[in-house]
Amino acid sequence: MKLILTRHGETEANTEHIIQSHLPGKLSAEGETQAEKLAQRLKDEKIDIIFSSDLKRAADTAKIVAKYHPEAELVFTEELREGNAGDFTGKRSDEVDWSKRPANAETLEQIRDRVTKLLKKVYESHSHQNVLFVGHNGVNKSIIGYIMNKPVNDMVRADNQKNTAVNIFEVKENGNHKVCLINCAKHLD
């Protein structure tokens, strides 16, 4: 299965360094432009099905890309939502200490478990197809970590995903996944 993984366009909250977590988020004017540039980049890619987080910022990005792939089914799912930041949600990132995660926040292990189940489920149904996932920074880093067989805690140290960055993988049943592209945002230049 060819997996194209991307992050939503910039949101108004991104510009203010607000932790959005499960908040819907609204694409900024720049975010809408980024999503359109992503759509232009992917318009000639064969995409059989698009899975997107159901949160507005990702869903709006996916809808822009889907305009160029009218034959592709568009599926919104909670499983691609950003990690739940609990009491940190809505706060500025410089106001929180991530080494002391709130008790009501989703753990890195829970995020990894959620996205791993989704990836396996999608692979079972679409093993010979080209699949696009539209997600978020943290959840995408977790998917990448799983594909690259990295420990869960490496997610914290991994480079943040740029808005609308493109990642491409060949996902294989035997776990010998191939990394083709990571965190590429050349379409924004």
The residue-averaged pLDDT of 46-61 equals: 98
Determine the pLDDT at residue 167: 98
Determine the pLDDT at residue 51: 98
Question: Residue 65 is inside which H or E element, if any?
Answer: helix 56-66
The residue-averaged pLDDT of 151-175 equals: 92
Determine the pLDDT at residue 181: 97
Answering whether pTM is above 0.75, one says yes
Determine the pLDDT at residue 57: 98
Per-residue pLDDT tens for 83-137?
999 999 999 999 999 889 999 999 999 999 999 999 999 999 999 999 999 999 9
Give whole-number Cα distances, 115 to 26, 133, 143, in Å.
Answer: 23, 11, 6
Surface-to-core class of residue 120, CB atoms within 10 Å of its CB (0-12 exposed, 13-18 middle, 19+ buried): exposed
Our measurement of the distance from residue 158's CA atom to the centroid of its chain's CA atoms, rounded to an integer in Å, reads: 14
Determine the pLDDT at residue 126: 97
Determine the pLDDT at residue 138: 95
- Looking at every residue in the chain, the average pLDDT score rounds to 96
> 158 pLDDT band (50/70/90 cuts)?
confident
52 has a pLDDT exceeding 90: yes
Q: How many CA atoms lie within 13 A of 113 on its CB side?
A: 5
Determine the pLDDT at residue 154: 86
141 has a pLDDT exceeding 90: yes
3-state SS, residue 2: strand
Residue ranges of domains in the chain, CATH in brackets:
2-86+102-188 (3.40.50.1240)
Determine the pLDDT at residue 85: 97
Beta carbons within 8 Å of 17's beta carbon, 6+ residues apart: 92, 93, 94
